[in-house]
C-alpha cells in the first residue's frame, strides 16, 4: 500500500490526525495493535480544553460532543473541610468540557469509517524503515501476513510502549522522567456525581478526586501506595476512604454503589526530546506523559496533533516546510508548560511518603495563597482551560 501519512496508533490522537488530514484531502492509513473493541473499552479521562473541542469541530466530529458534553465553568479544590471554588469562565473567559475520552474515540472511529478511512487492526511487529530518507516505509504483520506501507511521513501516535519513540536512536533521543511514589485507585460507578464541578481534594489522608462522565456515571479516585493491589480494595473500603478525604458536607451527599470498573494507575512525568527524527513525528504518549492531576494527557496530545496537522497541511497545500522543520521545538514548548502545571498540581494536592511537617506547612500556605489571591487563581485557571496553541 501507499499513502501520504502513515499513522501508528488507533487511539484518539491517531484518529484525530487522520480525520483532520481527510478534511483537506491528505491520505492516511492508521495501524492499531489492538482490536477496535479493546480500544473503546479503555477508560480514560474526560476533561477537554477548548483547543481540543475546537479540533473536534474542525474535524467535523463534534455533533455528539456538543450535544452531550457537560460545560464546566470551574472546579473546586478542597483543603480538608474548606472548599476553594475557582470559576474558569470568570477568571479566563473560557470553560472546559467534560466528555469522556472513550466517546471522543468512538466519534472519531465512526467518522473515519463513514469516510472510508483505512484502519488496520491487530497489527504486530511494526518496523519503521528509512525515516531519515525521503522514502520512509513501514512493515508489519496482521494475523501472520506480512504487509508494507510506503509513505511520505510517519506519525507515531502509539503510546509510551510503542515502536515510534524507540526508532529514534539512543544517541539522538534524550529522555526526562519523574516517577511518583504513589498511584491513583479509580472506580467508575453508575451513580450521580457528588458535585456539579470536579473536586480536587487535599487531605491528611491523601489526595482524592471526584469527577463524572454524565448525570448517572461518576468517576472517583483516591491516592494509594504503589504496593497496593486492586483486589485489596473492596467497594466498601473505597467509599469509606473517599469519604474521609473529601469535605464532610460533600461526603454527606455522596451516593455510593457497586463499581463497574476499578483500576490503579501509577503516576509519572515523562518527556522525550526531540519529537521528530527525519520524517517521523511523535505525538501524545509516544513523546510525553503527565500525571493526571491537571487533566492534560489527552489535551497535550491534541496540541501535538494541531501542530503536526498544520505543518502537513502547509507542506502539501502550500509547499511550506517551516512547520515540519519546527514541529518538535514548537510542540515541546507547550509540552513542558503542561508538564510544569501537572507537576505543580500533583505536588500541591498529594501526600508524599517523605513529606515532613515543614513540607506540609508549605503545601497549606500554597493552598491559602490560592484561596486568597485572584491572580494565583487566574494562573491556575489559564493552565487548566488550556494554554493557546
Q: Give the active site residue among 72, 306, 330, 350.
A: 72
Q: Give the active site residue among 292, 313, 316, 327.
A: 292
Residue 120 pairs in a beta bridge with 31
Interatomic CA distance for residues 223 and 88, integer angstroms: 25
**Cα angle, residue 12 at apex, residues 136 and 73 outer, rounded to 5°:** 140
70 is catalytic: no
C-alpha cell recorded at residue 221:
479516585
How would you list the strands of the sheet with 145-150, edge to edge? 123-129, 137-142, 145-150
CB 46 within 8 A of CB 98: yes
Going from the C-alpha of 163 to that of each of 33, 280, 329, the distances in angstroms are 11, 11, 22
Q: Give the active site residue among 137, 140, 153, 200.
A: 200
Interatomic CA distance for residues 320 and 312, integer angstroms: 9
Interatomic CA distance for residues 357 and 373, integer angstroms: 24
Interatomic CA distance for residues 3 and 26, integer angstroms: 9
Report the 10 Å Cβ neighbour count for 294: 23
**Cα angle, residue 218 at apex, residues 215 and 224 outer, rounded to 5°:** 165
CB 111 within 8 A of CB 95: no
384 is catalytic: yes
Report helix, strand or coil for 127: strand
Q: Give the active site residue among 22, 296, 313, 315.
A: 296
Sign of CA dihedral 240, 203, 197, 386: negative
Which one-letter DSSP state was computed for residue 195?
A: S
Interatomic CA distance for residues 331 and 307, integer angstroms: 7
Backbone φ and ψ for 270, nearest 5 degrees, come out as -150, 135
State the alpha helices, DSSP H only, in 97-152: 101-114
140 is catalytic: no
Interatomic CA distance for residues 128 and 149, integer angstroms: 10
Give the active site residues: 72, 200, 292, 296, 384
Amino acid at each position: 500500500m501507499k499513502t501520504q501519512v502513515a499513522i501508528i496508533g488507533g487511539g484518539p490522537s491517531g484518529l484525530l490526525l487522520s480525520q483532520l488530514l481527510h478534511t483537506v484531502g491528505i491520505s492516511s492509513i492508521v495501524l492499531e495493535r489492538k482490536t477496535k473493541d479493546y480500544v473503546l473499552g479503555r477508560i480514560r479521562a474526560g476533561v477537554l480544553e477548548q483547543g481540543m473541542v475546537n479540533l473536534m469541530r474542525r474535524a467535523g466530529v463534534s455533533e455528539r460532543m456538543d450535544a452531550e458534553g457537560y460545560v464546566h465553568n470551574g472546579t473546586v479544590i478542597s483543603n480538608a473541610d474548606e472548599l476553594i471554588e475557582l470559576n474558569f469562565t470568570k477568571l479566563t473567559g473560557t470553560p472546559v468540557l467534560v466528555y469522556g475520552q472513550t466517546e471522543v474515540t468512538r466519534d472519531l472511529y465512526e467518522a473515519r469509517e463513514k469516510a472510508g478511512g483505512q484502519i488496520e487492526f491487530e497489527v504486530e511487529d511494526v518496523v519503521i524503515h528509512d525515516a531519515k530518507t525521503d522514502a520512509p516505509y513501514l512493515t508489519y504483520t496482521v494475523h501472520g501476513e506480512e504487509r508494507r506501507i510506503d509513505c511520505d511521513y510517519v506519525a507515531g501516535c502509539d503510546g509510551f510502549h510503542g515502536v515510534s519513540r524507540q526508532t529514534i536512536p539512543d544517541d539522538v533521543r534524550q529522555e526526562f522522567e519523574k516517577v511518583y511514589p504513589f498511584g491513583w485507585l479509580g472506580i467508575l460507578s453508575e451513580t450521580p456525581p457528588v458535585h456539579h464541578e470536579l473536586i480536587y481534594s487535599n487531605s491528611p489522608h491523601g489526595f482524592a478526586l471526584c469527577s463524572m462522565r454524565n448525570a448517572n456515571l461518576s468517576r472517583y479516585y483516591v491516592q494509594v501506595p504503589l504496593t497496593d493491589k486492586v483486589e485489596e480494595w473492596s467497594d466498601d473500603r473505597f467509599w469509606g476512604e473517599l469519604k474521609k478525604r473529601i469535605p464532610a458536607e460533600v461526603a454527606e451527599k455522596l451516593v455510593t454503589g457497586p463499581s463497574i470498573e476499578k483500576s490503579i494507575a501509577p503516576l509519572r512525568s515523562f518527556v522525550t526530546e526531540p519529537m521528530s527524527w527525519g520524517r517521523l513525528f511523535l505525538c501524545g504518549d509516544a513523546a510525553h506523559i503527565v500525571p493526571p492531576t491537571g487533566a492534560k494527557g489527552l489535551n497535550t496530545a491534541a496540541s501535538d496533533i494541531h501542530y503536526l496537522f498544520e505543518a502537513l497541511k502547509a507542506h502539501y497545500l502550500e509547499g511550506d516546510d517551516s512547520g515540519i522543520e519546527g514541529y518538535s521545538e514548537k510542540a515541546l514548548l507547550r509540552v513542558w508548560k503542561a508538564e510544569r502545571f501537572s507537576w505543580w498540581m500533583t505536588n500541591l494536592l498529594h501526600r508524599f511518603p517523605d513529606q515532613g511537617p515543614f513540607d506540609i506547612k508549605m503545601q497549606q500556605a500554597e493552598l491559602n495563597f490560592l484561596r486568597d489571591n485572584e491572580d494565583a487563581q487566574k494562573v491556575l485557571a489559564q493552565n487548566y482551560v488550556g494554554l493557546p496553541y
